[in-house]
Each structure stands twice: as C-alpha cells, then as structure tokens.
Homo-oligomer: A and B are copies of this chain.
Amino acid sequence: MKNKILYTLFALAFSYTHQAIATPLMIEQQGSFAVGGIVKTSDGNYNPRPDMTKENTNNRFMDVFNANIQNGGQTLHGDHATVSYQIPTNAKALPLVFLHGAGQSMRSWQTTPDGREGWNNLFLRKNYAVYLVDQPRRGWSGRSTVDSVISATPDDQFWFAQFRMGEYPKFFDGVAFPKDAASLNQFFRQMTPNTGPFDEGVISDSLKALFDRIGNGILITHSQGGSVGWLTAIKAPEKVKAIVAIEPGNFPFPEGEVPDTIESAFGDITPNQVNKMDFNKLTHIPIIIYFGDNISDRPSNIQGEDQWRIRLALAKQWADIVNKHGGDVQVIHLPEVGIKGNTHFIMQDLNNDKVAAHLSNWLKVKELNK
C-alpha cells in the first residue's frame, strides 16, 4: 500500500514534465451529434420506383439517381453544426464549448502539430466537460444548403504569414511553435475548406441551438470564430455565461460609438456595429480576450505583425467601451504577463499549457469553475 502511494506520487510528479505517462482520462460519456440547421426541399414528387424505360445507359445507378433528382420531392438536411463531446467523471457545472476559426475544424483544439495534448485534453484533465464544434459548412458539417466551388489553389505561405509564424520559410525568433518539418506538415493539414458560403448568421444560429440543447456553458472562440461568438451570446444571452476569445477577428460596437476603420497595408479592419440592446447583452458576462506575441505596436511591413496590430488595437477600444457600459472585459496581451512567443494558434503553441493555466485561473476568479 505504501509502495502504491509512493508510486502514485512519483507518477503525478513525473507527469508534469512527461505527458506520455499522464494519468488516464476518465470519460463518463462521449459522442457526437448534429444541431441546428434547416431542411431544403425540392419541388415535385419523390418516386422511389422511377420509370427508367427511356434511360438505360451503362450506369443505371446514376440514371436512377438523376431520375430521382429530376422528379424532385426530396429533402436536404444542411447548415447544421456538428458537435463532438466528452464529459469526464466529476465534471464541473459549466461545460466549455469550443469554436474554431477560418479554414479550421474542431481539430484546432485536439492534438498539437508536434503531438502534445491540445486544450481538449488539458481542460478534460481540469474536469471540464468539453464540446467541440465543426461549424455549418465545414468539416463534418459539410452539407450546405447553398452550392459551392472549392479551389485547390496553393496558399499555405499566405496563412503561415497571417497566422504569425513568421515570413515563410523563416519563423519569428523565439516563436513558441515547433519548427521541425513534420510539425509544420501536420499544421498545414489541419486546414479544411468551406463547403458553402461562410455565414455568421447561420453559424451563430447553430450555436444558439447547441446552447438550447446543453444548457449553460462557457464559449471559447478562435480568430474568425470570435465574431460568431459575440453574435451567439447576443442570441442566447441566458445560456452563454462567459466568453473566452483567442485573437478574435472583429468586435461589435454599439451604434453611435463605432470607431474609425484602422488601416493596414495588408488589409484594413472596419469595426462591426450592433444595436444598443444587443450590445448591452455583452456587458452582463465576463469576457477574456487573448493575444499572442510578435504583434507590432506601429505599422509594420510584415503581414502577421501588422494584421494583428490593428486587431489588438481594436480589441482594446472595444474593451474600454464595454467596460464603460458596466461590462467586464479583459484583454490579455500575453507577452505583457510574461508568456512569450505565441503565434495566432495560442492553444497549440509550445506553451499552450501555460495559457491554459492562465485561463483556468481566470475561470476560478470569476467563479465559473464550480
């Protein structure tokens, strides 16, 4: 018995530095489901036994399919979100709902490019139930109600710059991202395209439906998902108890207090606007916004430095206005709290556990960790 306790203590101590022998996850329930979406119906009458006498090519399967389509009377279930969830034993009351950014899927929150545990696992280990979302028209939620063309145009280097890894092929000095070829290969292969037009209204509708299903929770967004997150909290103000936004792309300002467009040689940012009633909903919940490293404080000719300069500046303006109206927004520029080198993918960087610990502490301070 004494040996067993000693062994357990040793294992716990060792697991701090060596993830491979981390203690097992105890999962009470896990699975996936679709939520939200609409049904599109074609005109006509479905005929399960179409008359094929006029058509009889070498591929009758496609003839039958096409005859079915032409007869109409069929449905398409699309524009839903798909959700993968895990509920650990002794789960806290409020689950975490994770929404990815542009070009990404729920894989953003899973294993890191170099094989470490992502925030999915890290927060399960902190006893939070975790809901990962593939937004409508992305990843598992590929069925769109609107046609789409997918272009196979090489653009990895553009995203390497935009996601603030450096200027390809050079990484920023001291970047908290694994620089080996295998990790970068894994990172690029996380990208997955839109299968229909990107639509914040459609996506936030599906997230509202998710909160209607699971009840109160904390929404964690990344990048382009940030704007969807603000909309979701406006649509489900009783259910979204807090928002954590990792480098969000834009912010909803109240009418009459919308700041000017901020210019960048790589693309300006024009602030979003909402009506005052909707804006006020965002003053009733705690919000924390994280930005990483290598963000310039003056115009820069490096894409990543400049693109996040304008967004960090806008984040600070937005926080001031929300807080002036009685809200509770904190903007954490990580280098200022001693966490260095972060790219745009803070939840995957080499120090993703440090940022998770910072967030965990904030959740505790805000009493969201019961």
Contact with B along A143-159 (1 / 0, CB 8 A): 11111111111111110
Question: B265 and A60: CB pair below 8 A?
Answer: yes
Q: List 7 A-B contacts (CB under 8 A).
A: A31-B118, A41-B154, A48-B157, A48-B167, A49-B167, A52-B265, A105-B140
| Residues of B contacting A185 in the complex (Cβ-Cβ under 8 angstroms) | 34, 77
Q: Which 4 A-B pairs have the closest CB atoms?
A: A61-B267, A31-B111, A142-B192, A34-B189
A139 is an interface residue with CB less than 8 A from chain B: yes
Contact of A30 among B20, B64, B121 (CB under 8 A): B121
Docked complex: A184-198 residues within 8 A CB-CB of B = 185-186, 188-193, 195-196
| Residues of B contacting A25 in the complex (Cβ-Cβ under 8 angstroms) | 25-27, 30
Bound state CA distance, A73 and B84, in angstroms? 37
Q: What residue in chain B is nearest A191 (Cβ atoms)?
A: B143
Q: What residue in chain B is nearest A26 (Cβ atoms)?
A: B24
Question: A152 and B145: CB pair below 8 A?
Answer: yes
Q: Closest CB of chain B to A313's CB: distance in Å?
A: 16
Bound state CA distance, A111 and B30, in angstroms? 8
A256 is an interface residue with CB less than 8 A from chain B: no
Q: Closest CB of chain B to A167's CB: distance in Å?
A: 4
Copies in the complex: 2
Number of interface residues of A (CB under 8 A): 92
A46 is an interface residue with CB less than 8 A from chain B: yes
Bound state CA distance, A31 and B156, in angstroms? 24
Contact of A193 among B33, B161, B195 (CB under 8 A): B195
Q: Closest CB of chain B to A267's CB: distance in Å?
A: 3
A69 is an interface residue with CB less than 8 A from chain B: yes
A303 is an interface residue with CB less than 8 A from chain B: yes
Bound state CA distance, A188 and B121, in angstroms? 30
Question: B74 and A186: CB pair below 8 A?
Answer: no
Given A142-B193, A148-B150, A195-B142, the answer on whether A61 and B31 have CB atoms closer than 8 Å is no
